[in-house]
Amino acid sequence: MQDFLQQVVSGIATGGIFASLALALVLIYNAMGLVNFAQGEMAMLATFTALSLIQRGVDYWIALPVTLVLAFVGGVVIQRVVIRPVERAPVLTLVIVTLGLATLINGLAGFLFGYVPRSFPSPFSVQTVSILGAFASYQDLGVIVVSAIVLVLMYVLLQRTPIGLAMRAAAHQPEASRLLGIRVSWMLALGWGLASAVGAVSGIMAAPALLLEPNMMQTVIIYAFAAAVLGGIESPLGAVLGGLIVGVTVNLAGAYVPGVGGDLQLAVAFAIIIAVLVLKPNGLMGRGSVRRA
């Protein structure tokens, strides 16, 4: 029982990391009906940027907003330079371009920063608290709290502001939006910038637990895919819930399901993706899906 509770609590802690990256995926999806395969690598590069600043003596709390701004600008630039020329192309083209971007950024990070895992500072204490006899660190809880804050901000932005409405309109009804005077292409750029910034938050929050290196996000993105798909790929709340559920399920399946074992955690995430896509493609919180040609 003690172990069961610990499995759940640890799963929630890991799930927080998956959730935070899944939020960025959801944002891109809402902006242009696309899953960005380079999201994890962009987050990793942003985290390295933050580390470079910190190592040059910049205070953490200054480095953080500076990195977010840089990540936002980076996201906009990537959209303008790389995505815009193909934004009307079939989804296959877009998927290939984001995969190319992921490889490019991964290689670039290896080139710039090397592959030795590095320590990344955390604003939260490494002390642990006991929850009914199970333990979690403030760092773990901090990741979840930050994800919740990002979630609320995203909700307000997308649902309660004119710019959020314009973004959603541009994604769902680009032609009609154009007629209404919405600058569709810039809305997409805004979406990329925001997603990049949210991804940067995710990377910075996850790096203390993951250790920073170019391949840091390579499997996290699979869990984030599972989280986003499970939650319903256009729902930010769904992404967070999905992340936590994936984290807990992966732990429990590894620990208690006979024949699974800890070494098949990733396979469990894979099974979740397949099961949701086949049985309930809209996920837990999704409504209809935007379908691109």
Partner 1 sequence: MARMGSRLAALAAFLVAAGACGGSSAAQGGTDVGITATQILLGNTIAQTGPAAAYGTIANAENAYFTYVNNNGGINGRKVTFTVLDDGYNPAKTVPLTHQLIEQNKVFAMFSGLGTQPQVSVRDYLNSKSVPQLFVATGATTFNGDFSSHGWTLGWQPPYQGESRIYAKDILQNHPSAKIGVLYQKDDYGQDYLKGLTDGLGSKASTMIVDQESYDVTATVPSIASQLSKLKSKGADTLFIFATPSFTIGALAIVTGLNWSPLTYLNSVSNPAAYMKIAASKGAKLDGVISVNYIKDPTDPAWADDAGMKLYRTVIASCTTCKPDDGFNIYGVAVAYTMVDVLKQAGSNLTRANVIKIASSQLNETNPFLLPGITVTTTSSDHFPIMQEQVVQWTNGAWHLQGSLINERGTIS
Partner 2 sequence: MTALRNAPPRYALVVLVVLFFAGLPTVVTSFQSLEWAGVLIFAIAIMGLNVLVGYNGQISLGHGAFMALGAYTTAILVHRYQLNYLVTIPIAGLLTGLVGFFLGIPALRLSPLYLALATFALAVVTPSLIKRPEGLTNGVQGIQLLPPDPPPLLSDVFSLVNGGQPMTSEQWLYYLSFAIALLLFWVAWNLIRHRPGRALRAIRDGEVAAAAFGVNVAGYKTLAFGLSAFYAGVAGSLYGLATGFVSPDTFPVSLSFQLLVGAVIGGLASIAGPLVGGIFTYWLPIVSSQFVSDQTWIPSQISAVFVNAGPAVTYGALLILIMIFAPNGVVGLILSGYRRLRDRLRGAGERGTGQMPPDHQTI
- The residue ranges that bind partner 2 (CB under 8 A) are 33-35, 37, 82, 85-86, 89-93, 95-97, 99-108, 110-111, 219, 222, 225-226, 229, 263-264, 266-267, 269-270, 273-274, 277-278, 281, 289, 291-292
Q: Which is nearer to partner 2, 92 or 156 (CB)?
A: 92
Q: Which is nearer to partner 2, 156 or 274 (CB)?
A: 274
Q: Which helix or strand (DSSP H or E) is residue 129 part of?
A: strand 128-131
Cα-based angle 270, 35, 203 (whole degrees, multiple of 5)? 80
Q: What are phi and psi of 207, to 5 degrees?
A: -55, -40
Number of H helices, E strands in the chain: 11, 2
| CB-count burial class (<10 Å; 0-12, 13-18, 19+) for 74 | buried
Which residues contact residue 134 at a Cβ distance below 8 angstroms, ignoring those fewer than 6 apart? Answer: 2, 5, 6, 8, 9, 10
State the binding partner of 104 from partner 1, partner 2, none, CB within 5 to 8 A by kind. Answer: partner 2
Closest approach, Cβ 176 to partner 2, in A, equals: 22
Query: Helix, strand, or coil here: 275?
Result: helix
State the binding partner of 91 from partner 2, partner 1, none, CB within 5 to 8 A by kind. Answer: partner 2
State the binding partner of 192 from partner 1, partner 2, none, CB within 5 to 8 A by kind. Answer: none
State the binding partner of 101 from partner 1, partner 2, none, CB within 5 to 8 A by kind. Answer: partner 2
Site of interaction with partner 1 (CB under 8 A): 2-3, 6-7, 10-11, 13-14, 17, 107, 110, 114-119, 126-128, 130, 135-137, 140, 208-211, 213-215, 218-220, 223, 247, 250-251, 254-255, 261-266
State the binding partner of 11 from partner 1, partner 2, none, CB within 5 to 8 A by kind. Answer: partner 1
Taking the CA atoms of 160, 151, 153 and 222 in sequence, report the sign of the dihedral they define: negative
